[in-house]
Chain A
Amino acid sequence: MPQIIVKNLVKTFRVAERESGVWGAVKGLASRRHRIVRALDSISFTLEPGELVGYIGPNGAGKSTTVKVLSGILVPDSGEVRILGYVPWKERIQYVANIGVVFGQRTQLWWDLPVIESFDLLKDIYTVPVEQYVKSRDELIDLLSLADFLDTPVRQLSLGQRMRCDLATSLMHSPSILFLDEPTIGLDAVSKIAVRDFIRRINRERATTVILTTHDMDDIEALCNRIMVIGNGKILSDGTLSELRSRISNERHLTVHLANDGIDIEDPDAEVIDREENRIRLRFDPDKIPAATLISRIASRYPVRDLFVENPPIEEIIAELYRTIK
C-alpha cells in the first residue's frame, strides 16, 4: 500500500519582471509585467513505506517545490497528492505531526536557546508523551553524539553540530516520513559520513520513509537505492542507480598508470578522457569490448604499472542527463 501517492502534480508561479534603471523604476509604478514559470509539469510517483529515495535535479528544476507541496506548505495548481491518507495542504495541522523536515540551509531550532531547551519546546509543540519523548531523545542524542553540546546555544554550534541537532529534532516526534533538503551541504567530510550513517540507520531501524534532495552524489551513492531525477518540472528518471547509469551510457572507465610519462595510448575501442603525467583515463563500452580483453591488450602494448576499472562518477552521469534537458 503506497504511503505517498503523487499524481499529475502541476504548479506554476507568476514572476514579476522589473526593468532596470530609473526610468524603468518609474514605469514600474504604473504596471508590472509577469512571466509564468511552470515549476512542476505534471509529475507522478509513488513511494512505499520505508523507502529511501534520492531526489535530484539541477537548480530550479522543481526539487524544493516538490518538497514544499509534499510537506503541505504549498498548494499546487492541480493534481493529486495523498500521503498517509492525508491531503497535505488541506489538513496541515494534523498532517505535519507525522512528518519531519530538515532544510540544509535553515535550522528549525531556536537561535538563542540551548539545544536541549529547543528539544523540550518541540516536545510540547508536538505533544509527544513524556516517556516516548525521553526515550526518543536519549536515543537520538546517543546516535548523533550530541551529549557534549546540549547546553550550548544553537548559534554557537558549528554547521556539522547544528545539522546533527536538526536531524535529531526532526525525528523527536517519531514521524513516519522524513524530508531532507540538502542535509550535507557545507559539512566537512567526517560530518557528512556521520549524517549518512545516521540516515541509513534510521531508515533501517525505524522504517522511516526518507526523501533526500541533494547535489552531493556521494550522498546518493551511499544511501539511495532509488533515484528520481527531475528537470524542468518533469521527472526524467525514476529507478535504481544502475538503471540510471545504463540509461545514460554503458561506458566504463579504465585508469592506467604507466611506468614513464610522455607516452600516449591509442586503442580502437577506447577513448582517452584525460591524462595527468603518467596517469591516463580511458572510456570504453563493455558491450563492444569486454573489460578483460581491453586490459590485456593495453597491458601487452604499453609499459603498464597499474590499472583499474570503474564506473564513471555519478556526477558525469547526472551532468549528461541534465544536458539532455537543455
Chain B
Amino acid sequence: MRMIDYLNLYFRYIGISVRAQMQYKASFIMATFGNLLMSAVEFFAIWALFDRFGTIRGWTLPEVAMFYGIVNTAFSISEAGVRGFDMLPNLVKSGEFDRILLRPRSAAFQVASLELQLLRIGKFVQGIVVLAWALSAVDVAWTLPKALLLVGAIGGGVCIFSGFFILEATLSFWTTETLEIVNAITYGGVETAQYPLVIYRDWFRRFFTYVIPLALVNYFPALAILNRPDPLGTPEIIKWASPLLGLIFLMVTLQIWKIGVRHYTSTGS
C-alpha cells in the first residue's frame, strides 16, 4: 500500500476524530483551557523556584525555560497525535483490535489514527509561549543551523515521546496493568528534561542518555544553541546528531510493537 494512501487515510481518520470532539464544544474548550492552565501552573512552580533560589547550579531561568519549552512543545504534539495508543487495552478487551487486524493496513497506523487529541493544544500553546520568551531572553547568536537544530530538537522529542506511548501500549499485550511504569517514565522524563542534565546523579544521567535518549533531544541541542560547553565533556558531534537518535528510538519501539502484536496473535484474547 502506497504512502499516499496512508496519508490520505490518516487525514480522513483524524477528520472524524476532530469532528467528534467538536460536537462537544463546551467540553472541548474547558478541557483545552484546563490543559493550558495546568501547564501554566507547572511553569509557575518552576518560576517560583527560580524566584527563591536565583539559579540552579549556574543555569538561569531563561535557559531552563528553553529546555521546558522544547520538551513541552514536543510532548504536546506527540500527546495529540499518538494518544490513540492509550486506548489499546480497551481495544483488546472489546475485541476491536481483532477487527483492526482484519483490515489490510498496518495495525500501528490504525491505532495511532484513532484519535487526535485536540485539547493538547493547551499545553502546546503554553510550551510555545515559554519557548518564545526563553528564546528572547537568552543570549544566543542565531544562525540557520541553530534554528534548524531547534526544530530538529522538537522533532526528535516528538519521536521519543511517541515511542514512549507506543511502548506503553505494547506492554499491555503482555500484562493488563503495567502501563503505569512507562507512564511514569514518560511524565517523569518530561519533568527530568525540563532541567539541565548536569544536576542529576551520574547513573540517572546515563540512563537518560544511553537507555532512553531523552537527554539527546533537548539537552544536547540546547547546549549547542546556547554555545555552552557540556560540563561532562560530550563531543560536539553528538549535540548536533541528537534529533536523529530520537528517530531511531521511535523505530526501535515500532519493532517492539510488532513483537507485541505477534504475541497477541499467538495467545489470543
Contacts and interface: CB of A to CB of B under 8 A. Distances in A.
Asked whether any CB of A lies within 8 Å of a CB of B in the complex, the reply is yes
B140 interface: no
A65 B268 contact: yes
Interface stretch (A89-97, A182-190, A266-274, A288-296): A89-97
Given A68-B98, A68-B268, A103-B95, A93 B104 contact: yes
Q: A92, A101, A103: which has the most chain B beta carbons within 10 Å?
A: A92
Contact of B265 (A74, A97, A101, A126): A74
A307 B12 CA distance: 64
Contact of A73 (B1, B5, B101, B106): B101
B12 A124 contact: yes
B99 A13 contact: no
A112 B12 contact: no
Given A74-B265, A92-B101, A96-B104, A127 B16 contact: no
Contacts of B104: 93-94, 96-97, 125-126
A112 B265 contact: no
A73 B92 CA distance: 12
A13 B267 CA distance: 7
Given A101-B102, A125-B103, A126-B104, A73 B265 contact: yes
B206 interface: no
B8 interface: yes
Nearest to B23: A112
A71 interface: yes
Contacts of B103: 96, 125-126
Interface in B106-151: 106
Q: B1, B12, B16, B103: which has the most chain A beta carbons within 10 Å?
A: B103
Contact of A124 (B5, B95, B99, B101): B5
Given A93-B104, A125-B9, A113 B16 contact: yes
B152 to A, nearest CB: 32
A113 to B, nearest CB: 7
Contact of B106 (A74, A93, A103, A106): A93
Contacts of A108: 99, 102
B266 interface: yes
A319 interface: no
A13 B268 CA distance: 8
A124 B102 contact: no
Contacts of A113: 16
Interface string B1-43: 1000100110010001000100000000000000000000000
Given A13-B267, A93-B105, A125-B105, A110 B8 contact: no
A285 B106 CA distance: 58
B44 to A, nearest CB: 38
A121 B232 CA distance: 53
A89 B101 CA distance: 10
B64 to A, nearest CB: 42
A75 interface: yes
Interface string B225-268: 00000000000000000000000000000000000001001111
A72 interface: yes
A106 B268 CA distance: 17
B90 interface: no
Interface in A14-52: 14
Contacts of B267: 13-14
Interface in A72-107: 72-75, 89, 92-94, 96-97, 99, 101, 103, 106
Contact of B99 (A94, A99, A106): A106
A106 B267 CA distance: 21
A75 B269 CA distance: 12
Nearest to A64: B268
B94 interface: yes
B99 to A, nearest CB: 5
A124 B96 contact: no
B266 A75 contact: yes
A101 B102 CA distance: 8
B16 A110 contact: yes
Nearest to B13: A121
A75 B95 contact: no
Nearest to A39: B268
B18 to A, nearest CB: 12
A101 B9 CA distance: 21
B40 to A, nearest CB: 33
Given A73-B101, A124-B5, A106 B94 contact: yes
B106 to A, nearest CB: 7
Interface of A: 13-14, 65, 68, 71-75, 89, 92-94, 96-97, 99, 101, 103, 106, 108, 110, 112-113, 121, 124-127
27 contacts: A14-B267, A71-B102, A73-B98, A73-B102, A73-B265, A74-B268, A89-B265, A92-B101, A93-B1, A93-B104, A93-B106, A96-B101, A96-B102, A97-B104, A99-B102, A103-B95, A103-B99, A106-B94, A108-B102, A112-B20, A121-B12, A125-B9, A125-B103, A125-B104, A126-B103, A127-B1, A127-B5
Identify the 4 closest CB pairs spanning chains A and B, nearest first. A97-B104, A73-B101, A75-B266, A75-B265
